[in-house]
Structure 1
């Protein structure tokens, strides 16, 4: 069998001492680990560069500002839907919790444009762990939080001005007549 010069030289250089064998193995493993680390860093840098490029494009087109306004609106909607002073949840506390989740969660950020306002508020509420009040859920993205507050205050003021006897409505909110009250059987 004929061996090449490289093979003949590598046989002469190979250590015969077990400690040297281990050292050779450790250096080889270290080289592989460094190579893997460098590949990962290049991939991470490519991902970071792509993110920065997309962010700059969004900023230049005004999309970043639009998304920020929508996040602020969503945080306000979540705060209004989940705030409950009786349970120690004020509006500002709930707004800050919702904002923190909106900024950190990439999935919610992607859903900001794909879900309706009601679905999005329900999803954020699920993520922060507080159920929304179904009555205070927004109907659309165009609905502003500030528009809800004065109306609620006006209704409360009107209710205080009225006397203690309230008139019962003839129809429900769904447009159907209300059921007749239960009457005890006289038999």
Structure 2
């Protein structure tokens, strides 16, 4: 597995070694020991989640607060998404900056989003199945979010605004300036 550092400290892209032949392919999607060694962390994932969405569905930007904060390791099983992580660590030199990674069933990349980041994605293909590991359990009272089109974040979601399908809950999220951090 190859690890690629991003412009945001502690966010990593992983590219697995894929072994393919005429029968198909095989790759190791996760190895706890190797993951912790490559990230210099001691993460223990406790929950796996999966979502299925159609083109233009935008989920995010979400995070968990306090003792319920979550690190996530995300990947796409089918389709293609643009995945976004926003640094919301107030004392970070990259506070308010984001990184975008295209995750596809073809490139099999995975993206590690540590605690202290808001996370979201938009589906670029006709459909997508998105999977993620979390190192903490979801807690409704600790959830937070930032509106996807916050002008200070200036995120290019790669689709026209009119094609985005955003939940009622996500469309009323505050800007970063007004978010509960």
Work out whether the TM-score is over 0.5: no
TM-score by length of 1: 0.20
The structure whose Rg is larger is 1
Relative contact order: is structure 1 or structure 2 higher (C-alpha 8 Å, sep ≥ 6)?
2
